[in-house]
Amino acid sequence: MIAKVIVDISNSEVDKIFDYIIPSDFELEVGTRVLVPFGNRSIEGFCIKITDSPEGDYKLKEIIKKMDAKPLIKAEMLELARFMREKFYLRYVDVLRLFIPSKLRGNKVKVLEREYCVLASEDIQTLKSRISPRAKSQLAIIDRLASSGEYLTVLNTEFSPSAINSLVEKGLVIKSKQEVLRKPISDSDINQNKVVLTDTQEKALNEIKSSKQSIVLLHGVTGSGKTEVYMSLIESALKQGKTAIALVPEISLTPQILRVFRARFGDDIAMLHSGLSDGERYDEWRRIYDGDAKIVVGARSAIFAPTENLGVIIIDEEHDSSYISESNPRFRTLDVAEFRANYNNCKVVLGSATPSVESYNNARANKFALVEMNKRISKNGMPNIQIVDMAQELRVGNFSVFSNELKSKLQEVISNGNQAMVFINRRGYASYMQCKSCGYIAKCTDCDIALTYHKEDNLLKCHYCGKKFKPLDICPNCHSESIKQGKIGTEKVVRELQEFLGDSVRILRMDNDTTTTKTAYLDILGAFRRGEAQVLVGTQMIVKGHDFPNVTLVGVLDADMSLYFSDYRSCERTYQLITQVAGRAGRKDKLGEVIIQTYSPKHYLFNFVKNYDYKGFFDKELNTRGVTNFPPYTTIVRVLVTNEQDEKSLNCTKKIYDLLKLLRAENEKEFVYMQAMKSPINKIQNKYRYQIVLRIKRNLEDRIIGKIYNIVDENKQGNSVFVEINPQNMS
């Protein structure tokens, strides 16, 4: 018998399947890892097919050995690999690598051992007396472990490892390698957490279950209780002996969803996301593979979990761009989910308060089922949204970054003991430094981009490559000392807020700069949840999904900043961003309020936002896209060419452009646009960037995109060339 094997060579351009003889003394199943002779060495590979006879008539070698007793890649995943290879023009080996934890490659894994934590004593008070009252997370860990122990991997997602470690060092918590069976969660525990579904939730649930389509879009306003609907769907799946995958867009949201899920489902949950160490990821993967964990929670890569017999796939905040992988291996999570749902005959549920135009359009066209939840669970309903004209503030002499309205509301919220969130989509202190006399702007030496001023480190930083520079004191061009600063970022917002609210108010900041360590976001969100701070200032990171019951005020600064980007999605993005951040206010028992500051209060978008009129927004947006020939009416393809040598990059772009012109000539009707140009940011990390952007009519694109890939593959000439479909970022 012959095994068809994909060899696991890194950095290879080959996507070839090799034939090997299966030695007569062993049985081999498809999907098993094998060791094979390759050239003069032996390497790992995956057996993806078994046949009777070889294709060529050259001399074949024998497989050396099997790497695992059972196939690592189960039948469904093998089919998925085939699908992804064709759909996304990927190499087999790159796809297969998505499916198994890196620890399994190169046979690095030792025996499965999971660390388990328990309290050193049942006397909680005594344990607590040995902890400083200020060590809030340590105290919280003691409470968490009071009723039962917990796996270290799980604790690590909820608390900072440093807090756990100090408890272990003090001997208050005991870490053991051996698996200890946990006390099963008693019925009363579960009931405590189980809520009765509202009529709206019940109705939504039934509509989802009875829908004809395999993909269901659950359009539910923020705070409408989508999570409970997800959990009911998962529960039904489990009752039928099936499994479930629930995806969230960011790691920072996994602890929250995990907390609610665990209260409901106990230990049945595994999670997969990029924040795990290799060992942790392997542990979790293994629990899923072995069938011990029936529910998988995680970011997009969790869609590749080796679950069998899937009963439902949930994609929460489906509009989020993180569900699309644009770098190799590129894929769309929804396409993968759809494949798996069809294979398992189950549903994909897309949840969002602000669906992507693409998804909502599919729902309108009946490709997806549409299920709606228009009301919040809280009787207070949606928070009131007020749009504040910042130009008017200037006219009345308010030069601060905060409107008078926002200032007084902030003070009110804090004196009432509630919490506020302030959103600004820019990190750092000031967006640039510029000479007032001659207009010189400090730019990165490696990238064609203005540097952002960070006051905490007193440095200028490049947000594209991370390079740091001294701040501008004297203009290198005209030697003037009068330097001005660009638009404010999170750092400056915190500083100004602190000044205005006084030192007794504690303000937390969450952005890329404050979350560089693995657990920083847990610490920040945890502290805010525990009420240790009154205000949370942040970028996009604070926008999604978070459910903080005491937040009654949300302020949005510079709401129009993303509105005028030269990206066809800028309106959609701005609508989503503002609606989502507004949705963090007044989620539980307290009434919420939202203040949006802008210099263009008359922009139509704000009316839709204010009235929670998603449909109005969608109709207007779809109309614009139709008139201007943008997705979903067309597909945008960007061919991006980069090289350290400007000329090489330019020449390669020209070459590809000429070939694409021929392709266009053959398919005149299908091309609605094609242009070659410098990329908006012409240089990033010393690589010069050129691009060809084209738009192809929808439904005809698959055939043409295949040809574009072929042209690109044959004409790279040593450049890095990327083909991007409807790219999220055109810079």
| Smallest separation (angstroms) from ligand ADP to the CB of 317 | 9
Q: Is 446 in the site for Zn ion (CB under 5 A)?
A: yes
Whole-angstrom distance, CA of residue 672 vs CA of residue 625: 13
Whole-angstrom distance, CA of residue 352 vs CA of residue 317: 5
Q: Is 592 in the site for ligand ADP (CB under 6 A)?
A: no
Given ligand ADP, Zn ion, none, residue 717, with its beta carbon under 5 to 8 Å by kind, binds: none
SS3 label, residue 354: coil
Q: Quick one: DSSP state of residue 14?
A: -
Whole-angstrom distance, CA of residue 8 vs CA of residue 523: 39
- The order of strands in the sheet holding 634-643 is 671-684, 687-697, 634-643, 720-725
Given ligand ADP, Zn ion, none, residue 446, with its beta carbon under 5 to 8 Å by kind, binds: Zn ion
| Region binding ligand ADP by CB under 6 A among candidate stretches 23-31, 189-197, 282-290, 382-390 | 189-197
Half-sphere exposure of 18 (CA within 13 A, CB side): 24
Residue number, 662 or 681, with CB nearest to Zn ion: 681
Given Zn ion, ligand ADP, none, residue 403, with its beta carbon under 5 to 8 Å by kind, binds: none
| Smallest separation (angstroms) from Zn ion to the CB of 306 | 40
Residue number, 221 or 414, with CB nearest to ligand ADP: 221
Whole-angstrom distance, CA of residue 609 vs CA of residue 652: 45
18-51: string of b/e by CB count within 10 Å (b at 16+)? ebbebeeeeebebbbbbebebeeeebbbbbbeee
| Smallest separation (angstroms) from Zn ion to the CB of 481 | 9
Q: State the binding string over 134-173 for ligand ADP (x if CB under 6 A, else -).
A: ----------------------------------------
Residue number, 224 or 333, with CB nearest to ligand ADP: 224
Q: Which of 286, 298, 301 is nearest to 336 (CA)?
A: 301
| Region binding Zn ion by CB under 5 A among candidate stretches 292-300, 378-386, 420-428, 439-447 | 439-447
Whole-angstrom distance, CA of residue 530 vs CA of residue 523: 10
For residue 529, what are its two tokens? 């949840």
Given ligand ADP, Zn ion, none, residue 587, with its beta carbon under 5 to 8 Å by kind, binds: ligand ADP
| Contacts (Cβ under 8 Å, ≥6 apart) of 13 | none
| Region binding ligand ADP by CB under 6 A among candidate stretches 196-204, 273-281, 289-297, 632-640 | 196-204
The only residue of 198, 398, 498, 607 in contact with ligand ADP, by rule CB under 6 A: 198
Given Zn ion, ligand ADP, none, residue 195, with its beta carbon under 5 to 8 Å by kind, binds: ligand ADP
Q: Is 222 in the site for ligand ADP (CB under 6 A)?
A: yes
- Bridge partners (DSSP) listed for residue 596: 387, 556
Cβ atoms of residues 453 and 685 within 8 Å? no
Q: Which amino acid is at 270?
A: A
For residue 122, what are the CA distances in angstroms to 142, 165, 180, 487, 726?
A: 10, 19, 17, 54, 57
Count of chain residues binding ligand ADP (CB under 6 A): 17
Q: Is 587 in the site for ligand ADP (CB under 6 A)?
A: yes
| Smallest separation (angstroms) from Zn ion to the CB of 693 | 23
Cβ atoms of residues 32 and 45 within 8 Å? no
Q: Is 477 in the site for Zn ion (CB under 5 A)?
A: yes
Q: Which amino acid is at 9?
A: I
| Region binding Zn ion by CB under 5 A among candidate stretches 65-73, 453-461, 468-476, 537-545 | 468-476
| Smallest separation (angstroms) from ligand ADP to the CB of 549 | 7
Whole-angstrom distance, CA of residue 429 vs CA of residue 457: 10
Whole-angstrom distance, CA of residue 439 vs CA of residue 431: 15
Q: Is 255 in the site for ligand ADP (CB under 6 A)?
A: no
Given ligand ADP, Zn ion, none, residue 190, with its beta carbon under 5 to 8 Å by kind, binds: none
Whole-angstrom distance, CA of residue 640 vs CA of residue 201: 45
Whole-angstrom distance, CA of residue 190 vs CA of residue 392: 53
Cβ atoms of residues 539 and 509 within 8 Å? no
Cβ atoms of residues 646 and 688 within 8 Å? yes
For residue 451, what are the CA distances in angstroms to 386, 447, 679?
A: 33, 9, 18
Q: Is the dihedral of CA 457, 460, 465, 467 positive or negative?
A: negative
Q: Is 228 in the site for ligand ADP (CB under 6 A)?
A: yes
SS3 label, residue 537: strand
Q: Is 377 in the site for ligand ADP (CB under 6 A)?
A: yes
Given ligand ADP, Zn ion, none, residue 480, with its beta carbon under 5 to 8 Å by kind, binds: Zn ion
| Smallest separation (angstroms) from ligand ADP to the CB of 235 | 14
Given Zn ion, ligand ADP, none, residue 467, with its beta carbon under 5 to 8 Å by kind, binds: Zn ion
Q: Is 467 in the site for Zn ion (CB under 5 A)?
A: yes
| Smallest separation (angstroms) from ligand ADP to the CB of 637 | 35
Q: Which of 478, 509, 477, 506 is nearest to 491 (CA)?
A: 509
Given Zn ion, ligand ADP, none, residue 447, with its beta carbon under 5 to 8 Å by kind, binds: Zn ion
The only residue of 12, 480, 624, 628 in contact with Zn ion, by rule CB under 5 A: 480
The only residue of 149, 220, 586, 632 in contact with ligand ADP, by rule CB under 6 A: 220
Q: Quick one: DSSP state of residue 322?
A: G
Helices in 68-214 by DSSP H: which ranges?
75-88, 92-99, 124-129, 136-145, 152-158, 161-169, 187-193, 199-210
The only residue of 44, 280, 547, 670 in contact with ligand ADP, by rule CB under 6 A: 547
The only residue of 217, 315, 369, 475 in contact with Zn ion, by rule CB under 5 A: 475
Q: Is 444 in the site for Zn ion (CB under 5 A)?
A: yes
Helix and strand numbers (H, E) in the chain are 22, 32
| Smallest separation (angstroms) from Zn ion to the CB of 486 | 15
SS3 label, residue 649: helix
| Contacts (Cβ under 8 Å, ≥6 apart) of 281 | 101, 102, 103, 272
Q: Is 341 in the site for Zn ion (CB under 5 A)?
A: no
Given Zn ion, ligand ADP, none, residue 223, with its beta carbon under 5 to 8 Å by kind, binds: ligand ADP
Residue number, 194 or 697, with CB nearest to ligand ADP: 194
The only residue of 138, 227, 356, 597 in contact with ligand ADP, by rule CB under 6 A: 227
Q: Is 552 in the site for ligand ADP (CB under 6 A)?
A: no
Q: Is 558 in the site for ligand ADP (CB under 6 A)?
A: no
- Name the pairing type of β-strands 150-151 and 331-332: unpaired
Q: Is 224 in the site for ligand ADP (CB under 6 A)?
A: yes
| Smallest separation (angstroms) from ligand ADP to the CB of 212 | 24
Residue number, 209 or 484, with CB nearest to Zn ion: 484
Count of chain residues binding Zn ion (CB under 5 A): 15
| Smallest separation (angstroms) from ligand ADP to the CB of 227 | 3
Whole-angstrom distance, CA of residue 181 vs CA of residue 144: 17
Q: Is 201 in the site for ligand ADP (CB under 6 A)?
A: yes
**Which residues here bind ligand ADP, judged by CB under 6 A?**
195-198, 201, 220, 222-228, 377, 547, 587-588
**Which residues here bind Zn ion, judged by CB under 5 A?**
435, 437-438, 440, 444, 446-447, 462, 464-465, 467, 475, 477-478, 480
